[in-house]
Amino acid sequence: MDKIFGLKFNGPIIKIEEVDNDFDLSDYNYVCNVVQSVGSNLKKIIIAENEDSSSSPLKKWKITDAVYGYTQCLHGSYQRTISFTMVDEDGNEAYNIWLGHNDDTEPSAIVKAMFIKAQKIVEDYPSALIYKYFQELEDIKLSMVIRHHFERLFIHSYEPDLYSLIDNLKKASELLKKWYDTYKKAKELLSECNDSKSKKLLNELEDKFNDIISRLPQN
C-alpha cells in the first residue's frame, strides 16, 4: 500500500506525518510518496520539495533515487533498508547512501531517518564529492581488512594454498593503491578550502592515512 508523508523542519527537529492525496505542499518542507515499484519488492520514494521554504537544513542539496525495501541479514532475518543519492548545489553526486532498520520499523521512521542522515551529511561535508571520497576510503579499508584476515588464514592453515595467497596479496596491493588514489583526491579538494569544516575533515583524513600506514608490514 502506497503511503504519503509530509515533513516539516524546525531547526534540527523533523516532524513527519501521513497525509492524504490532496495534501498542500506549502504546508511542508518535503512530501514523500512511497510507491510500489512494478515487478519488484522495492518501493520508490518520490520526493516533492517546497521550493519556497527557507527552513530546510538541506539547503540547496537534493535527495534523489531513494529506494526502500528489505535486505536479508547474515543470520537469516530481514531488515528494512533505504538507499539514496545526494546531489549538492554544484551537481556533484554521492551514490548508494544506505540505512538499515529492524524489520518492524514503520516506513515513516525510515523516511525520517533518511532526512536525518542527509541533514548530517550537509552539516559535516562541504560537497557531495568529499562525502563520496570519505565513504570510498572506508569501503576500501573494509575490503583490505577482510583480505588481511584471509591472508592470515592462508599463512596459518595446515596446507597453505600458495597460489591463492599470491592472488590475495596482489588484490590487496591493488586495494591499497585505490585507497591512496582516493585519499589524494580528497586531500587535494580539501586543501583548496579554508573553512573550518574542511580543515577538520583534512585532519580526519590525515588520521585515516596514518592509520593505514600503521597497518602495513614494518621492516
Residue 147's H or E segment, with its range, is helix 128-156
For 15-27, the pLDDT digits (tens) are 999 999 889 999 9
* Cβ neighbours of residue 32 closer than 8 Å, sequence gap 6 or more: 4, 5, 7, 45, 46, 47, 48, 66, 111
Burial 28-37 (b: 16+ CB within 10 A, else e): bbbbbbbeee
* Cβ neighbours of residue 54 closer than 8 Å, sequence gap 6 or more: none
The alpha carbon of 6 is separated from its chain's Cα centroid by a whole number of angstroms, namely: 23
Distance CA 26, CA 161 (A): 65
For 141-171, the pLDDT digits (tens) are 887 776 565 555 444 444 556 676 677 777 7
Strands 30-36 and 62-72: unpaired
C-alpha cell at 105: 520499523
Taking alpha carbons only, the member of 205, 145, 149, 140 closest to residue 174 is: 140
* Tens-level pLDDT at each residue, the chain (219 residues): 688 999 999 877 899 999 998 899 999 999 999 887 755 678 899 999 998 766 677 888 999 999 988 776 666 667 778 899 999 999 999 998 988 776 666 888 889 999 999 999 999 999 999 999 999 999 888 877 765 655 554 444 445 566 766 777 777 788 889 999 999 999 999 999 888 999 999 999 999 999 888 877 665
pTM of the model: 0.83
Domain parsing of the chain, residue ranges: 3-123, 128-215
